[in-house]
Amino acid sequence: MVNFNLKVFAHYNGHSLRNNGNVDFSVKCDYSELTKYIQLIQALNNDIKIAAKITDQKPIKLGTFRIKAINIDDDGEGNLKFNSQADFVEVDNLTKLVGTDVFVLKFSAEIEIEEGVENEE
């Protein structure tokens, strides 16, 4: 197991809470963050703890999510979508992101690295 940590600048792109407890959370990242947010691919199928730091405020925990989608537009802008259950999300903290211009997102997870398989001759 390896500790995975990543910080990116992001823009809020919405969240939703459904009746069955599913929570979707979406952010956009500029082209300048491409080399950072693409590293999230390493955390596929792992629980990711997400926290946000809004300018001049203390960091807030958003909860534990899984990656739902990572889409990259033709201009390099990344659309990151996450999914979780309401039990693992601080929904009140998600609403604090509404109306903010840019904030820092911190992702942390424990990921398992597969051992390399040598070619057999």
Taking only the tens of pLDDT, the chain with its 121 residues reads 899 999 999 999 999 999 999 999 999 999 999 999 999 999 999 999 999 999 888 999 999 999 999 999 999 899 999 999 999 999 999 999 999 989 999 999 998 877 765 554 4
Contact criterion met (CB below 8 Å) for 107 and 36: no
Instruction: State residue 56's pLDDT score.
Output: 87
Residues 37, 43, 44, 48: is their CA dihedral positive or negative? negative
- Domains (range + CATH), the chain: 2-107 (2.40.30)
Instruction: State residue 94's pLDDT score.
Output: 94
Instruction: State residue 118's pLDDT score.
Output: 53
Contact criterion met (CB below 8 Å) for 120 and 23: no
Q: The whole model's pTM is what?
A: 0.88
Residues 49, 51, 107, 24: is their CA dihedral positive or negative? positive
